[in-house]
Amino acid sequence: MIAFGPIPSRRLGLSLGINNIVSHKICSYSCVYCQIGITKNMSVTRQTFYEPGQLYENIESHLKKLDPEHYPDYLTFVPNGEPTLDLNLGKAIRMLKEFNIPIAVITNSSLIHDQHVQADLMKADWVSVKVDAVSESIWREINRPCEGIELKRIMEGLKVFAADYPGKLNTETMLIDGLNDSDRHLQQTASFIATLNPEKAYLSVPVRPPAVRTVKVVSENKITEAWQIYQQSGIHTELLTGFEGTDTGFTGNAFEDILNITAVHPLREDTMAELLKQDKTNGKVVDSLINQGLIKSVSYSGKTYYIRSYHF
Protein backbone atom coordinates (compact mmCIF):
# COMPACT_ATOMS: atom_id res chain seq x y z
CA MET A 1 0.00 0.00 0.00
CA ILE A 2 2.56 2.54 -1.15
CA ALA A 3 1.03 4.49 -4.06
CA PHE A 4 -2.55 5.79 -3.92
CA GLY A 5 -4.76 8.01 -6.02
CA PRO A 6 -4.13 10.34 -7.69
CA ILE A 7 -6.39 12.48 -5.54
CA PRO A 8 -7.36 16.09 -6.23
CA SER A 9 -5.15 18.42 -4.23
CA ARG A 10 -5.97 22.03 -3.49
CA ARG A 11 -2.27 22.81 -3.84
CA LEU A 12 -0.89 20.37 -6.40
CA GLY A 13 -3.64 19.55 -8.89
CA LEU A 14 -3.75 15.76 -9.30
CA SER A 15 -1.40 14.31 -6.71
CA LEU A 16 -0.34 10.66 -6.67
CA GLY A 17 0.29 9.95 -3.01
CA ILE A 18 3.28 7.99 -1.76
CA ASN A 19 2.93 6.32 1.63
CA ASN A 20 6.59 5.70 2.48
CA ILE A 21 5.81 4.74 6.10
CA VAL A 22 4.63 1.32 7.29
CA SER A 23 0.88 0.71 7.47
CA HIS A 24 0.47 1.81 11.09
CA LYS A 25 1.01 5.53 11.62
CA ILE A 26 4.48 6.51 12.85
CA CYS A 27 4.98 10.21 13.49
CA SER A 28 6.94 12.70 15.55
CA TYR A 29 3.72 14.60 16.30
CA SER A 30 0.24 13.72 17.45
CA CYS A 31 -1.58 16.82 16.19
CA VAL A 32 -5.01 17.47 17.62
CA TYR A 33 -6.40 18.01 14.11
CA CYS A 34 -4.74 15.03 12.37
CA GLN A 35 -7.10 13.35 9.91
CA ILE A 36 -5.39 9.97 10.41
CA GLY A 37 -6.06 9.92 14.13
CA ILE A 38 -4.01 9.95 17.32
CA THR A 39 -0.40 8.81 16.98
CA LYS A 40 0.14 5.54 18.84
CA ASN A 41 3.74 5.08 17.64
CA MET A 42 5.72 8.28 18.20
CA SER A 43 9.33 8.51 17.06
CA VAL A 44 12.08 10.94 16.05
CA THR A 45 14.43 8.18 14.87
CA ARG A 46 14.92 7.89 11.12
CA GLN A 47 14.71 4.32 9.89
CA THR A 48 14.23 2.20 6.78
CA PHE A 49 10.62 1.36 5.93
CA TYR A 50 10.86 0.44 2.24
CA GLU A 51 13.84 0.12 -0.04
CA PRO A 52 13.80 2.85 -2.74
CA GLY A 53 13.59 0.20 -5.45
CA GLN A 54 10.41 -1.17 -3.90
CA LEU A 55 8.86 2.30 -3.91
CA TYR A 56 9.89 2.79 -7.53
CA GLU A 57 8.42 -0.52 -8.72
CA ASN A 58 5.15 0.05 -6.85
CA ILE A 59 4.70 3.55 -8.26
CA GLU A 60 5.67 2.43 -11.77
CA SER A 61 3.04 -0.31 -11.60
CA HIS A 62 0.43 2.11 -10.28
CA LEU A 63 1.10 4.67 -13.00
CA LYS A 64 0.59 2.03 -15.69
CA LYS A 65 -2.94 1.37 -14.38
CA LEU A 66 -4.07 4.98 -14.68
CA ASP A 67 -5.96 6.41 -17.62
CA PRO A 68 -4.50 9.55 -19.28
CA GLU A 69 -7.06 11.84 -17.61
CA HIS A 70 -5.80 10.82 -14.18
CA TYR A 71 -2.07 11.01 -14.82
CA PRO A 72 -0.63 12.95 -11.86
CA ASP A 73 0.77 16.47 -11.80
CA TYR A 74 2.92 15.55 -8.78
CA LEU A 75 4.25 12.51 -6.97
CA THR A 76 3.72 13.48 -3.35
CA PHE A 77 5.25 12.01 -0.20
CA VAL A 78 2.27 12.31 2.14
CA PRO A 79 2.24 9.14 4.28
CA ASN A 80 0.40 8.10 7.41
CA GLY A 81 3.12 9.66 9.49
CA GLU A 82 6.08 11.99 9.00
CA PRO A 83 7.82 11.36 5.65
CA THR A 84 11.25 12.54 6.80
CA LEU A 85 11.39 9.65 9.29
CA ASP A 86 12.20 7.57 6.20
CA LEU A 87 15.99 7.15 6.12
CA ASN A 88 15.83 6.48 2.37
CA LEU A 89 13.75 9.54 1.46
CA GLY A 90 16.51 11.27 -0.51
CA LYS A 91 17.46 8.11 -2.42
CA ALA A 92 13.79 7.48 -3.26
CA ILE A 93 13.27 11.03 -4.53
CA ARG A 94 16.34 10.77 -6.74
CA MET A 95 15.15 7.46 -8.19
CA LEU A 96 11.57 8.68 -8.79
CA LYS A 97 12.88 11.62 -10.82
CA GLU A 98 13.14 9.15 -13.71
CA PHE A 99 9.36 9.40 -14.17
CA ASN A 100 9.75 13.09 -15.11
CA ILE A 101 6.94 14.05 -12.74
CA PRO A 102 7.64 16.77 -10.13
CA ILE A 103 8.22 15.46 -6.60
CA ALA A 104 6.50 17.04 -3.58
CA VAL A 105 7.02 16.41 0.13
CA ILE A 106 4.62 17.53 2.84
CA THR A 107 6.47 17.58 6.17
CA ASN A 108 5.59 18.64 9.69
CA SER A 109 9.07 20.26 9.94
CA SER A 110 9.95 18.44 13.17
CA LEU A 111 13.27 17.06 11.86
CA ILE A 112 14.18 20.03 9.65
CA HIS A 113 17.14 20.92 11.90
CA ASP A 114 18.82 17.65 10.81
CA GLN A 115 21.30 18.35 8.00
CA HIS A 116 20.60 14.94 6.45
CA VAL A 117 16.87 15.71 6.34
CA GLN A 118 17.60 19.06 4.75
CA ALA A 119 19.78 17.37 2.13
CA ASP A 120 16.99 14.90 1.32
CA LEU A 121 14.37 17.62 0.99
CA MET A 122 16.66 19.67 -1.26
CA LYS A 123 16.10 17.01 -3.95
CA ALA A 124 12.31 17.60 -4.06
CA ASP A 125 10.72 20.09 -6.46
CA TRP A 126 8.05 21.31 -4.01
CA VAL A 127 8.14 21.22 -0.22
CA SER A 128 5.47 22.23 2.28
CA VAL A 129 6.59 22.86 5.86
CA LYS A 130 4.24 23.05 8.81
CA VAL A 131 4.24 26.20 10.93
CA ASP A 132 1.19 26.01 13.20
CA ALA A 133 2.67 28.00 16.06
CA VAL A 134 5.76 29.94 17.11
CA SER A 135 4.83 29.95 20.79
CA GLU A 136 6.21 26.99 22.76
CA SER A 137 3.03 26.42 24.78
CA ILE A 138 0.67 26.71 21.80
CA TRP A 139 2.92 24.50 19.66
CA ARG A 140 2.86 21.79 22.31
CA GLU A 141 -0.90 22.04 22.71
CA ILE A 142 -1.62 21.74 18.97
CA ASN A 143 1.16 19.50 17.62
CA ARG A 144 1.83 17.45 20.78
CA PRO A 145 5.43 16.61 19.82
CA CYS A 146 7.44 13.53 20.66
CA GLU A 147 9.90 13.87 23.51
CA GLY A 148 13.21 15.36 22.39
CA ILE A 149 11.84 17.84 19.84
CA GLU A 150 12.49 21.53 20.44
CA LEU A 151 10.57 24.32 18.73
CA LYS A 152 13.60 26.62 18.76
CA ARG A 153 15.65 24.09 16.76
CA ILE A 154 12.80 23.64 14.29
CA MET A 155 12.54 27.37 13.66
CA GLU A 156 16.30 27.68 13.24
CA GLY A 157 16.31 24.69 10.90
CA LEU A 158 13.52 26.17 8.81
CA LYS A 159 15.50 29.38 8.30
CA VAL A 160 18.60 27.46 7.22
CA PHE A 161 16.64 25.24 4.83
CA ALA A 162 14.63 28.11 3.35
CA ALA A 163 17.80 30.10 2.63
CA ASP A 164 19.28 27.33 0.44
CA TYR A 165 16.29 25.42 -0.97
CA PRO A 166 16.17 25.80 -4.79
CA GLY A 167 12.62 24.51 -5.31
CA LYS A 168 9.16 25.82 -4.44
CA LEU A 169 8.87 26.30 -0.70
CA ASN A 170 5.44 26.60 0.91
CA THR A 171 4.26 26.86 4.49
CA GLU A 172 1.00 25.63 5.97
CA THR A 173 -0.70 26.79 9.14
CA MET A 174 -3.75 24.98 10.48
CA LEU A 175 -6.02 27.43 12.29
CA ILE A 176 -7.71 26.03 15.38
CA ASP A 177 -10.42 27.95 17.21
CA GLY A 178 -9.18 29.15 20.59
CA LEU A 179 -5.62 27.85 20.18
CA ASN A 180 -3.55 29.70 17.56
CA ASP A 181 -6.03 32.26 16.23
CA SER A 182 -5.43 35.29 18.47
CA ASP A 183 -4.31 38.46 16.69
CA ARG A 184 -1.07 38.50 18.63
CA HIS A 185 -0.14 34.94 17.76
CA LEU A 186 -1.18 35.31 14.12
CA GLN A 187 1.08 38.34 13.83
CA GLN A 188 3.97 36.50 15.45
CA THR A 189 3.52 33.48 13.17
CA ALA A 190 3.22 35.65 10.06
CA SER A 191 6.37 37.57 11.03
CA PHE A 192 8.34 34.35 11.30
CA ILE A 193 6.97 32.90 8.05
CA ALA A 194 7.91 36.13 6.28
CA THR A 195 11.57 35.44 7.14
CA LEU A 196 11.32 32.15 5.20
CA ASN A 197 10.17 33.96 2.06
CA PRO A 198 7.93 31.09 0.88
CA GLU A 199 6.35 30.96 -2.55
CA LYS A 200 3.01 30.68 -0.76
CA ALA A 201 1.75 30.45 2.79
CA TYR A 202 -1.39 28.36 3.11
CA LEU A 203 -3.94 28.92 5.86
CA SER A 204 -6.09 25.86 6.40
CA VAL A 205 -8.88 24.64 8.65
CA PRO A 206 -9.87 21.06 9.59
CA VAL A 207 -12.14 19.92 6.74
CA ARG A 208 -11.96 16.23 7.69
CA PRO A 209 -12.57 14.48 11.03
CA PRO A 210 -9.82 15.51 13.49
CA ALA A 211 -8.05 13.24 15.97
CA VAL A 212 -9.50 15.23 18.87
CA ARG A 213 -13.21 15.72 18.33
CA THR A 214 -13.36 18.91 20.41
CA VAL A 215 -11.27 20.71 17.78
CA LYS A 216 -13.29 23.55 16.27
CA VAL A 217 -13.00 25.41 12.99
CA VAL A 218 -12.36 29.14 13.32
CA SER A 219 -15.02 31.58 12.13
CA GLU A 220 -15.07 32.99 8.61
CA ASN A 221 -14.28 36.42 10.03
CA LYS A 222 -11.21 35.04 11.79
CA ILE A 223 -10.02 33.31 8.61
CA THR A 224 -10.32 36.59 6.73
CA GLU A 225 -8.52 38.42 9.51
CA ALA A 226 -5.68 35.87 9.48
CA TRP A 227 -5.34 36.22 5.71
CA GLN A 228 -5.11 39.99 6.04
CA ILE A 229 -2.42 39.74 8.74
CA TYR A 230 -0.34 37.40 6.56
CA GLN A 231 -0.80 39.60 3.50
CA GLN A 232 0.25 42.68 5.45
CA SER A 233 3.45 40.83 6.38
CA GLY A 234 4.29 40.64 2.69
CA ILE A 235 3.42 36.96 2.30
CA HIS A 236 1.58 35.55 -0.72
CA THR A 237 -1.23 33.81 1.16
CA GLU A 238 -3.92 31.37 0.06
CA LEU A 239 -6.76 29.74 1.96
CA LEU A 240 -7.31 25.98 2.10
CA THR A 241 -10.83 25.97 3.46
CA GLY A 242 -12.87 24.21 0.79
CA PHE A 243 -13.48 20.68 -0.45
CA GLU A 244 -11.00 19.58 -3.11
CA GLY A 245 -13.50 17.63 -5.23
CA THR A 246 -14.54 14.04 -5.87
CA ASP A 247 -12.48 13.17 -8.93
CA THR A 248 -9.95 10.72 -7.54
CA GLY A 249 -7.73 8.30 -9.40
CA PHE A 250 -8.68 4.66 -9.76
CA THR A 251 -6.95 1.45 -10.84
CA GLY A 252 -9.96 -0.84 -11.40
CA ASN A 253 -9.47 -2.56 -8.04
CA ALA A 254 -11.87 -0.82 -5.66
CA PHE A 255 -10.74 -2.88 -2.66
CA GLU A 256 -7.12 -1.76 -2.98
CA ASP A 257 -7.99 1.80 -4.02
CA ILE A 258 -10.13 2.36 -0.92
CA LEU A 259 -7.60 0.84 1.49
CA ASN A 260 -4.66 2.71 -0.03
CA ILE A 261 -6.37 6.11 -0.01
CA THR A 262 -8.06 5.86 3.38
CA ALA A 263 -4.74 4.91 4.99
CA VAL A 264 -3.72 8.57 4.73
CA HIS A 265 -6.72 10.48 3.39
CA PRO A 266 -10.32 10.07 4.65
CA LEU A 267 -12.77 9.60 1.79
CA ARG A 268 -15.90 11.74 1.93
CA GLU A 269 -19.12 9.94 1.01
CA ASP A 270 -19.48 11.66 -2.37
CA THR A 271 -15.85 10.96 -3.24
CA MET A 272 -16.35 7.32 -2.26
CA ALA A 273 -19.41 7.12 -4.52
CA GLU A 274 -17.42 8.52 -7.45
CA LEU A 275 -14.55 6.09 -6.81
CA LEU A 276 -16.93 3.13 -6.77
CA LYS A 277 -18.47 4.34 -10.02
CA GLN A 278 -15.08 4.66 -11.71
CA ASP A 279 -14.01 1.23 -10.46
CA LYS A 280 -17.29 -0.16 -11.82
CA THR A 281 -18.53 -1.55 -8.53
CA ASN A 282 -20.98 -0.64 -5.75
CA GLY A 283 -21.40 -0.09 -2.03
CA LYS A 284 -21.06 -3.78 -1.23
CA VAL A 285 -17.29 -3.32 -1.34
CA VAL A 286 -17.54 -0.63 1.34
CA ASP A 287 -19.85 -2.79 3.46
CA SER A 288 -17.39 -5.67 3.18
CA LEU A 289 -14.44 -3.52 4.25
CA ILE A 290 -16.42 -2.20 7.23
CA ASN A 291 -17.52 -5.69 8.25
CA GLN A 292 -13.91 -6.89 8.11
CA GLY A 293 -12.88 -4.01 10.37
CA LEU A 294 -10.58 -2.55 7.71
CA ILE A 295 -12.33 0.82 7.44
CA LYS A 296 -14.93 2.68 9.47
CA SER A 297 -17.33 5.54 8.90
CA VAL A 298 -17.33 8.72 10.96
CA SER A 299 -19.46 11.85 10.82
CA TYR A 300 -18.00 15.33 10.70
CA SER A 301 -19.66 18.65 9.85
CA GLY A 302 -22.77 16.89 8.59
CA LYS A 303 -20.86 14.59 6.21
CA THR A 304 -19.87 10.94 6.38
CA TYR A 305 -16.19 10.05 5.94
CA TYR A 306 -14.52 6.67 5.58
CA ILE A 307 -11.13 6.13 7.22
CA ARG A 308 -8.79 3.19 7.83
CA SER A 309 -9.36 1.25 11.01
CA TYR A 310 -6.15 0.00 12.60
CA HIS A 311 -5.96 -2.52 15.39
CA PHE A 312 -2.89 -2.09 17.56
pLDDT at residue 10 in the model: 76
* Within a domain: 259: no
Triad 156, 162, 168: Cα angle to 5°: 150
Mean per-residue pLDDT, 70-92: 93
3-class DSSP state of 169: strand
pLDDT at residue 312 in the model: 40
pLDDT at residue 205 in the model: 85
127 — pLDDT class (breaks 50, 70, 90) = very high
pLDDT digits (tens, 9 = 90+) for 63-78: 998 888 878 999 999 8
* Within a domain: 249: no
Which domain, by its residues, includes 129? 3-240
- How far CA 140 is from CA of 199, 248, 283, in Å, comes to 27, 34, 41
pLDDT at residue 311 in the model: 47
pLDDT at residue 298 in the model: 73
pLDDT at residue 289 in the model: 79
pLDDT at residue 243 in the model: 46
Mean per-residue pLDDT, 119-145: 97
For residues 74 and 46, is the Cβ–Cβ distance under 8 A? no
What's the CATH number where 177 sits? 3.20.20.70
Domains held by the chain: number: 1
pLDDT at residue 24 in the model: 76
Whether residue 6 has a cis bond before it, omega within 30° of 0: yes
* Within a domain: 120: yes
For residues 15 and 66, is the Cβ–Cβ distance under 8 A? no
* Within a domain: 269: no
* Within a domain: 267: no
Q: In this model, does residue 283 exceed pLDDT 90?
A: no
* Whole-prediction pTM: 0.79
Query: Which range is least confidently modeled, 51-65, 136-150, 252-266, 282-296?
Result: 252-266
* Within a domain: 137: yes
Query: Where is pLDDT greater, at 1 or 61?
Result: 61
Average pLDDT of the chain is: 87
Q: In this model, does residue 253 exceed pLDDT 90?
A: no
* Within a domain: 305: no
pLDDT digits (tens, 9 = 90+) for 17-46: 999 987 678 999 999 999 878 888 999 999
Centre a 10 Å sphere on the Cβ of residue 224 and count the other Cβ atoms it contains.
11
Q: Which of 173, 156, 188 is nearest to 33 (CA)?
A: 173
* Within a domain: 222: yes
Beta pairing partners, 26:
41, 81
Measured distance CA(63)–CA(3) in Å, rounded: 9
